[in-house]
Amino acid sequence: MQNILTIDLEEWFHANYHDDVFDPHKTYEVRIIQNTKRLLALFAEHQAKATFFVLGSVAEQHPRLIREIAEAGHELATHGYAHQLIYQQTAAVFKEDVSQAKKRVEDIVGKSVIGYRAPSWSITPKSIWAWDILEELGFVYDASVFPIKTYLYGLPTSPRFSYHPQYNGRTLNLLEVPSSTVRILNKKIPFAGGFYFRALPYPLITRGIKTVNREGHPAIVYLHPREIDPGQPRLTLSPKENLIHYYGISGCEKKLIRVLKKFKFTSVEGYYGL
Ligand SMILES: [Zn+2]
């Protein structure tokens, strides 16, 4: 059974725990090229294909890197332009941010971008209007929903597996591909990416993927290039955010390699034949 591998293509400082984690006008050390090339090498070695949700500002700065990802046969999708939380934007600002970002990637690869993932899973009960705008902008799927509730994100009423969302009494054509969870004691527990992937031991991650596969669905694994980079500079964060952002980074690449060896991965587009 195929699973789905996704990378949010952003820099080590693109975080939204609070408003001023990073200054969009400041110049920071570039780490994304070396980290992404390392991911591409690992994916090639293990015959894995992925979807890269590219931040528009990253595409603008590193068009060669985006071309390289496309030439390696991966899917290019968008992660918005400036990594701002949707639920803090107006619909008009969101629409402008996403159309800019979509166009940046399309201009580089010469192909339509059909997928979107929100910065920090920010399609929440306050911002489901975003689905309607994504459909209007020509997106075929969205992968922005975490079907749980955390202090930063989550749409707890969301189904666990892909579906066409309802908006204003209408079923959208847009396909929602929510992040993977397993059901334990009637709770949805994340395991397949980011902090959860870094924090959980390898046997629990494989058990999670196998459980989702037994239910007839692909697991959606997600990572960021910075998560395999123990040498990155450190952001000033609260102790809780520091833990979420950096826990387990030193062992993450090794764990990823084990997962790539054990399971088959493709892109969202490849899995659903979009
Ligand atoms: Zn992001």
pLDDT tens digit string along 224-241?
999 999 999 999 999 999
CA of 95 to the centre of ligand 1 (A): 17
Six-digit token string for 222: 């997600």
Which residues, chain by chain, have CB under 5 Å from ion ligand 1?
8, 10, 119
Instruction: For residue 223, list its beta bridge partners.
Output: 7
Could you tell me the domains of the chain?
2-20+27-269 (3.20.20.370)
Question: What mean pLDDT comes out for the span 102-113?
Answer: 98
Q: What pTM did the predictor assign?
A: 0.97
Work out the angle at residue 14's Cα, subtended by the Cα atoms of residues 121 and 108, and round it to the nearest 5 degrees: 90
Q: List, for residues 189-204, the tens digit of each pLDDT value.
A: 999 999 999 999 999 9
CA of 53 to the centre of ligand 1 (A): 9
CA of 15 to the centre of ligand 1 (A): 7
Report the alpha-carbon distance of residue 148 to residue 241 in Å, rounded: 18
CA of 206 to the centre of ligand 1 (A): 24
pLDDT at 108 > cutoff 80: yes
CA of 79 to the centre of ligand 1 (A): 7
CA of 169 to the centre of ligand 1 (A): 30
Q: Exposed, middle or buried, 151 (CB in 10 Å: 0-12/13-18/19+)? A: exposed
Residue 161 Rama label (left phi>0; alpha psi -120 to 50; beta): beta
CA of 140 to the centre of ligand 1 (A): 20
Helices and strands (DSSP H and E) totals, the chain: 10, 12
